[in-house]
């Protein structure tokens, strides 16, 4: 009896070991998509849902303990008559952004696409009766823009979602929920998104933090479903943790990798492609009182600093309830686009440079070109610690005029005619 038990125990441990030794192996299409994602560097986040009608931000349902049955009545009046997917994508493309991440379903639980697994969606529950995701996917395909989908792991309106730390005051009666039912619902919707709308660049999850760390979200199986349906679709999760097995990108919220000013990004920086998301004003969803839009200079600096830390920037806009992008946001997109027309070469396809970020700015690199992005320099000279590297040439990127430089044992000293005043004073070094 004892021998049988030991044999059984050994087999059990061996099986566990075999399971533990089967980590996620990304497909060739996925690895290619990761590289393309890193090359693209700049995307636009769009937070849009019923919450736009209340114009108080995307968390208004839980912040104000709105009963989900009353909240759902907003759908009956949702008619964004000015929505035009082609105009959205045209304005976003003009900024130099290469992809769009759209909220297919946020925490409020309303689906912004035509799903057969819930009548609480844009086509069935509103007088608008148009599939915005379908129109957006067509516009993106036509204009060469990648489409990613944000998808909420939590739901403040469904009775089968187990109560988490948020949404407890929205009128749901069953705190325990029905996880099996909810999990199947999510996977059914993800299957629709990955089957009915063409190639999807990424699924961007959010809401893991709503439950205790001990909660089993069954993510490996969900990630495997995504990769089975579209092997090249990247998986990211805004869980504020180091990446889990099966994820393809690492997300940082309101912080650049390695920084934690907002308190949401204290996790270690992984070797996966990186993305930091930030708002153009203060909120993610449309808020009528939030007109505090960041200046074009600030937005450009954030994009450049992200690139200098080897990350993409996902800049958010909250569309208005009438279906238009806010005019100020469109203006910022156009102004960023003008800058990108001139300096995009120093951003697209680059990786973080061999000189680490400093208070004065960052560096990006592509091949033998090192781009020195000077954002805030108080002097007319800059020392770069380039030991072991030979600088063959130094020019000002905007006009290719020569920049005086002196080689030392510790690096290179760049000298300028005056203190740099450009939004981003870019020096191009040819190194060997």
CB of 117 within 8 A of CB of 62?
no
Asked if residue 6 is part of any domain, the answer here is no
E runs forming strands in 141-211: 146-152, 202-206
Residue that terminates a domain, selected from 349, 371, 398? 349
CB of 113 within 8 A of CB of 85?
no
Residue that terminates a domain, selected from 285, 317, 349? 349
Alpha carbons 364 and 353: distance in angstroms, whole number: 4
Distance of CA 367 to the CA centre of its chain: 26
Q: How many domains does one find in the chain? A: 2
Regarding whether 421 and 303 lie in a shared domain, the answer is no
Regarding whether 284 and 424 lie in a shared domain, the answer is no
Low-confidence stretches of the chain (pLDDT < 50) are 1-21
Alpha carbons 99 and 200: distance in angstroms, whole number: 10
| The model scores a pTM over 0.75 | yes
Q: How many CB atoms lie within 10 A of CB 51?
A: 29
Regarding whether 244 and 170 lie in a shared domain, the answer is yes
CB of 42 within 8 A of CB of 347?
yes
With the CA atoms of 300, 360, 383 and 390 taken in that order, what torsion angle do they form, in degrees rounded to the nearest 10?
-30
Asked if residue 240 is part of any domain, the answer here is yes
Of 143, 195, 170, residue with least CA distance to 68 = 170
Look up the CATH number of the domain holding residue 402.
2.60.40.1180
Regarding whether 344 and 388 lie in a shared domain, the answer is no
Asked if residue 2 is part of any domain, the answer here is no
Bridge partner list, 362: 373
Regarding whether 267 and 192 lie in a shared domain, the answer is yes
CB of 60 within 8 A of CB of 54?
yes
Asked if residue 9 is part of any domain, the answer here is no
Regarding whether 415 and 277 lie in a shared domain, the answer is no
Model pLDDT, residue 6: 45
Model pLDDT, residue 162: 98
Model pLDDT, residue 260: 93
Of 311, 315, 309, 396, residue with least CA distance to 355 = 309
Alpha carbons 228 and 247: distance in angstroms, whole number: 14
DSSP code at position 76:
G
Regarding whether 252 and 276 lie in a shared domain, the answer is yes
Regarding whether 157 and 39 lie in a shared domain, the answer is yes
The single residue listed with the structure tokens 């996790």 is: 267
Look up the CATH number of the domain holding residue 91.
3.20.20.80
Residue that terminates a domain, selected from 349, 381, 406? 349
Regarding whether 338 and 223 lie in a shared domain, the answer is yes
Regarding whether 405 and 295 lie in a shared domain, the answer is no
Of 323, 340, 314, 333, residue with least CA distance to 202 = 314
Asked if residue 277 is part of any domain, the answer here is yes
Asked if residue 4 is part of any domain, the answer here is no
* Helix or strand (DSSP H, E) at 281: none
Token pair of 225 as six digits: 């479903």
Asked if residue 15 is part of any domain, the answer here is no
Q: Which domain holds residue 365?
A: 353-431
Regarding whether 391 and 309 lie in a shared domain, the answer is no
Asked if residue 296 is part of any domain, the answer here is yes
Regarding whether 362 and 301 lie in a shared domain, the answer is no
């Amino acid at each position: 009896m004892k021998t049988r038990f030991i044999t059984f125990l050994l087999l059990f441990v061996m099986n566990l070991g075999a399971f533990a030794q089967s980590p996620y192996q990304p497909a060739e299409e996925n690895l290619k998509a990761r590289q393309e994602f890193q090359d693209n560097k700049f995307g636009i986040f769009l937070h849009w849902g019923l919450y736009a009608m209340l114009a108080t931000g995307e968390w208004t349902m839980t912040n104000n303990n709105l009963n989900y049955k009353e909240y759902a009545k907003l759908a009956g009046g949702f008619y964004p008559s000015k929505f035009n997917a082609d105009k959205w994508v045209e304005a976003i493309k003009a900024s130099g952004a290469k992809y769009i991440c759209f909220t297919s379903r946020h925490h409020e639980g309303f689906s912004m696409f035509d799903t057969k697994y819930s009548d609480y969606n844009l086509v069935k529950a509103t007088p608008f009766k148009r599939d915005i995701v379908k129109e957006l996917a067509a516009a993106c395909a036509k204009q060469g823009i990648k489409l990613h989908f944000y998808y909420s792991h939590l739901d403040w309106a469904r009775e089968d979602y187990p109560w988490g730390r948020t949404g407890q005051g929205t009128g749901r009666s069953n705190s325990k929920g029905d996880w099996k039912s909810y999990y199947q619902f999510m996977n059914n919707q993800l299957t629709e998104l990955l089957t009915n709308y063409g190639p999807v660049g990424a699924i961007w999850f959010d809401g893991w933090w709503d439950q205790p760390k001990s909660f089993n979200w069954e993510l490996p199986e969900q990630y495997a479903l995504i990769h089975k349906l579209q092997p090249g679709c990247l998986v990211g999760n805004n869980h504020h943790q180091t990446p889990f097995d099966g994820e393809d990108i690492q997300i940082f919220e309101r912080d650049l990798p390695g920084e934690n000013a907002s308190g949401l990004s204290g996790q270690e920086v992984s070797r996966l492609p990186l993305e930091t998301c930030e708002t153009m004003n203060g909120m993610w969803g449309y808020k009528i009182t939030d007109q505090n839009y960041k200046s074009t200079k600030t937005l450009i600096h954030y994009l450049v600093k992200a690139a200098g830390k080897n990350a993409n920037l996902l800049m958010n806009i909250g569309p208005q309830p009438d279906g238009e992008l806010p005019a100020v946001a469109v203006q910022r997109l156009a102004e960023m686009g003008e800058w990108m027309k001139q300096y995009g070469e120093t951003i697209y396809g680059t990786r973080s440079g061999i000189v680490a970020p400093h208070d004065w700015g960052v560096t990006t690199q592509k091949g033998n070109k090192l781009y020195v992005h000077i954002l805030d320099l108080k002097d007319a000279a800059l020392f770069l610690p380039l030991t072991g590297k030979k600088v063959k040439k130094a020019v000002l990127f905007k006009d290719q005029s020569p920049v005086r430089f002196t080689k030392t044992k510790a690096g290179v000293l760049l000298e300028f005619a005056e203190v740099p005043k450009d939004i981003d004073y870019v020096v191009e070094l040819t190194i060997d």
